[in-house]
Amino acid sequence: MELKVTSALSTSQQSDSKAMEVNGTATIYPFLIPNEGDMFIARLKNGHHGIFQVTSSERKSIFEETCHVIEYQLIDDKTITRTLLDVKSVVKYEFILNFLKYGQNPLLIEEEVHLLNELHENYVQILEWYFKEFLSKEYMTIIAPAQPLPCYDHFLVKATKAFFNVTDSPNIRKIKLLNCDGDDIMHDYTLWDVLINRNPHLMKSVIHKAGLVSARSFSRNPMLEGVYHSGVVYVVYPMYPHLSIDDELQRLIKPLADAVLVDRPTQARSLKDVIAKRNLSGNLDVSELPQTSPLIHPVNKDNYYIFSKAFYTDDSPNQSLLEQLVGDYLHERALDIRTLITMCQTYHSWTALERFYYVPIILMLIKSAIRAF
């Protein structure tokens, strides 16, 4: 743990006993309330570790999230004393300084630290894999895989640029958000807006189904990287958009093309073949996963945009585990970390379109789970 030292260690001698005293003062972060008599271990100037005891504690404000100033005294610098403290410890925590930036409790038990590291490692690796897989060098944007002709989902790309930043991956700089501003319908709410804003109430306003329209039906203005001149052939477009009165009067809705998004199966034989049999801190095995719901549904099941009809109608029993996790995320309920990590272990066995649409959602859930510790 980290102390903010306000007075460095100073040495003095008692006038009566001639005993030497080493004292100091420091400020404690708001997550911990120190008491007189508490002990802690800290490094001394000579490189050794000493045992310190809190001699006084002062609260600095009336607010719940308040700092405390403590005075402490060196009581022992013998290794055997530290060993005894380790033996007598009942619970061990790890201090995560970065959590303080987000108002989280920075003290985690060992099992939580293991899960946190697992999630963070998956987040970094999967995000880099995603851009390597779907970021097109030719079009300099994210392109749908396995399609006969280049297809562009403006809603997914906009969400990706909104949610991820250069600290997550420098590849974010390479993604172009192609200009579709000539059509107000492209500003309709979708599932991505619900996820980015974490607002379940937006579900009442989102489009449920989508098709493809020709990129040639957008503005021909060559400025501002318009989708017309991008080279992509099709653009994902709301099937039943929410029209403003101007859209209705001007009949601006574009005709859908006969083409639809197609999928390419994975080379993996089945989902269970690639689920890792190792455990996290307990037992993670295929037999332990909930059997009532599939891990994921096929993308565009029931002809609904990305998720199935069960998600849009809030039919929880018929939702996939991923859709149930998203529901928990939107309503700020605790996420099932075991199921989330299982998805991290098996995403490469999904079809191309499932990886294209579901992996960014999983990454959003991972970041939310990390912030919930």
* pLDDT greater than 90 at residue 210: yes
Which residues, 6 or more positions from 190, have their beta carbon under 8 angstroms from its beta carbon? 155, 206, 207, 210, 238, 305
pLDDT-derived band at 137, boundaries 50, 70, 90: very high
pLDDT-derived band at 291, boundaries 50, 70, 90: low
Lowest mean pLDDT among 47-61, 207-221, 226-240, 286-300: 286-300
* pLDDT greater than 60 at residue 268: no
Q: Name the range with the highest mean pLDDT among 27-31, 273-277, 356-360.
A: 356-360
Q: Which structure tokens are listed for 13?
A: 């001698």
Instruction: Name the amino acid, one letter, at 133.
Output: E
CA 220 from chain centre, in angstroms, equals 38
Q: Percent of the chain having pLDDT more than 70?
A: 88
Residue 99: its pLDDT value, please? 85
* pLDDT greater than 70 at residue 198: yes
pLDDT-derived band at 67, boundaries 50, 70, 90: very high
pLDDT average, residue stretch 113-132: 93
Residue 242: its pLDDT value, please? 76
pLDDT-derived band at 254, boundaries 50, 70, 90: confident
Lowest mean pLDDT among 85-89, 184-188, 203-207, 320-324: 85-89
pLDDT average, residue stretch 96-111: 84
Residue 119: its pLDDT value, please? 93
Buried b or exposed e, range 38-59, using 16+ CB within 10 angstroms: bebebeeeeeeebbbebeebee
DSSP secondary structure, 185-217, as one string: GGGS--HHHHHHHT-GGGGGTS---EEEEEGGG
pLDDT average, residue stretch 214-243: 88
Residue 85: its pLDDT value, please? 77
Lowest mean pLDDT among 90-99, 100-109, 273-282: 273-282
pLDDT per position as a tens digit, 276-287: 333 333 334 444
CA distance 175 to 140: 6
pLDDT per position as a tens digit, 316-332: 999 999 999 999 999 99
pLDDT average, residue stretch 129-137: 95
DSSP secondary structure, 211-237, as one string: EEEEGGGS----TT-BGGGSS--EEEE
* pLDDT greater than 60 at residue 263: yes
* pLDDT greater than 70 at residue 367: yes
pLDDT-derived band at 251, boundaries 50, 70, 90: low
pLDDT-derived band at 272, boundaries 50, 70, 90: very low
DSSP-based helix, strand, coil % in the chain, nearest 5: 40, 20, 45
pLDDT average, residue stretch 127-136: 96
pLDDT-derived band at 267, boundaries 50, 70, 90: low
CA distance 235 to 227: 8
pLDDT-derived band at 248, boundaries 50, 70, 90: low
Residue 134: its pLDDT value, please? 96
pLDDT average, residue stretch 127-134: 96
